[in-house]
Amino acid sequence: MIGLHTVGMLERMLTSWINRLTSLRVVATGSRDRVRLLLPERGPMRVVYEKAVVHETYSVRARVLQRSMRIVFKPLLRYTPLSDRSLARMRSLDRLSARRRPSRHVEHSQHELGGVRVESMTHRYGPDSDMTILYLHGGGFFSCSIDTHRRVCERLALKSGATVISVDYVQLPEGSIADSVQDAIAAYAALLKTSDHPDKIVVAGDSAGGYLAMKIAELATRRGLQAPAALIGFSPLLSVDPEREDKAVQRIVRARDAYLPMSRIAQIRERWLPEGSAIEGFASPLLATAYISSPTFLVAVEDEMLRPEVEAMALLLSERGVEVETHIWRKQVHAFPVLADALPESDMALQLAADFARLAVGELHRAPTVDPHSHEKTIAGEIVSGPAS
């Protein structure tokens, strides 16, 4: 949710050192993707959603990144004030971390959809597709931008063949979550009107962007619009109170998020929902599953703060007969798929998501990609009895 710009900056600072650390292993195995550790520190991974695909192994890069974030940046995020001034400084860091040039293999254009600025990306060398992916970036509704997330959108365009449209929705302090939601649904509604294939629009997002993706699906149903062909959520925020433990959500692993301080959520929520702000529909997408019918692809990290509600969402949707594919990864950082060029796990997660999207729109003419280091769990889980609040 927060601090993605710090992840990007840390990734660049550590890349050279990690390369030195792993160079001998890479030579020995012949591929960076094979530099993996199998060290399940607490035994096999447990799941709540019984059909979750678990990824128990992890790369050296992932472990170094996770530990560095926990030691260095989590304390900073815990004590950084959430004033307008500090938010402005975060935006400045975002601009610094977004200076990487756009890929020369991708055609970029900026325009508006429903009055909202967007950037459209089409890869020159990806598979052919009539699909469009509407992407909502994360950042806790006050950080990151279409610039910080350009690389992950470029990679999605390459792997899926789709035209990826990244949405520059309003954020704090200029607007609340309610305003972000309105920008997101406005862009989606406009895309439905202008697309040559409105039945092949997939909505995706990470963290706060995952929240907006689910809100689009909910509000499309409420407004009588065509539902997205599929939904993709990378560590999606599914409620405005993920730190609460008195809801009907089963928590089977203690939250040890690599860089999201749970203690700050209450303070952040005051900025998300200022007095007088009203979100259309449910404030928490977790309560809106009755309005969501699109096939859904979800990614979460084993011990991140947002994982319990991701699995609860998977259970609620699957109980209604909605197709759900859920992946739980060990030893990663929150929303790790957006680190498109840093981790082999990120690359794999994006490929799995791209295959899911192409299958949903009827364009995958081969067997879906399977991570050879993953397996499906058969441990049955349940949502704790009692009404969700």
| Of 387, 339, 381, 355, the residue nearest 54 (C-alpha) | 381
Q: Report the top-level CATH class of 4-376.
A: alpha beta
User: What is the structure's pLDDT at 329?
Assistant: 96
The predicted model scores a pTM of: 0.86
Asked if pLDDT for residue 10 goes beyond 70, the answer is no
User: What is the structure's pLDDT at 29?
Assistant: 36
User: What is the structure's pLDDT at 21?
Assistant: 46
Asked if pLDDT for residue 33 goes beyond 70, the answer is no
> Tell me: the pLDDT tens digits for 115-124?
999 999 999 9
User: What is the structure's pLDDT at 2?
Assistant: 44
User: What is the structure's pLDDT at 252?
Assistant: 67
Residue 101 burial class via C-beta count within 10 angstroms: exposed 0-12, middle 13-18, buried 19 and up: exposed
> Strands 324-329 and 374-376: what pairing?
unpaired
Residue 288 token pair? 């809106």
* Average pLDDT score over residue span 285-297: 97
Measured between alpha carbons, how far is residue 276 from residues 172, 177, 234, 273, 296 in Å?
Answer: 15, 12, 30, 8, 32
Residue 361 token pair? 């729109």
* Average pLDDT score over residue span 158-183: 96
CA dihedral 324, 327, 328, 333 (to 10 degrees): -120
- Domain borders along the chain are 4-376
Q: Regarding predicted confidence, which is higher, 303 or 200?
A: 200
User: What is the structure's pLDDT at 31?
Assistant: 41
Measured between alpha carbons, how far is residue 242 from residues 188, 209, 259, 291 in Å?
Answer: 26, 15, 15, 21
What is the rounded CA–CA span in Å between residue 120 and residue 164? 6
Q: What is the 3-state secondary structure (H, E, C) of 242-259?
A: CCCCCCCCCCCCCCCCCC
* CB 238 within 8 Å of CB 310: yes
Average pLDDT, the chain: 84
> Tell me: the pLDDT tens digits for 220-241?
999 999 999 999 999 999 999 8
User: What is the structure's pLDDT at 214?
Assistant: 98
> Tell me: the pLDDT tens digits for 69-86?
878 776 766 667 777 777
What is the rounded CA–CA span in Å between residue 145 and residue 136? 9
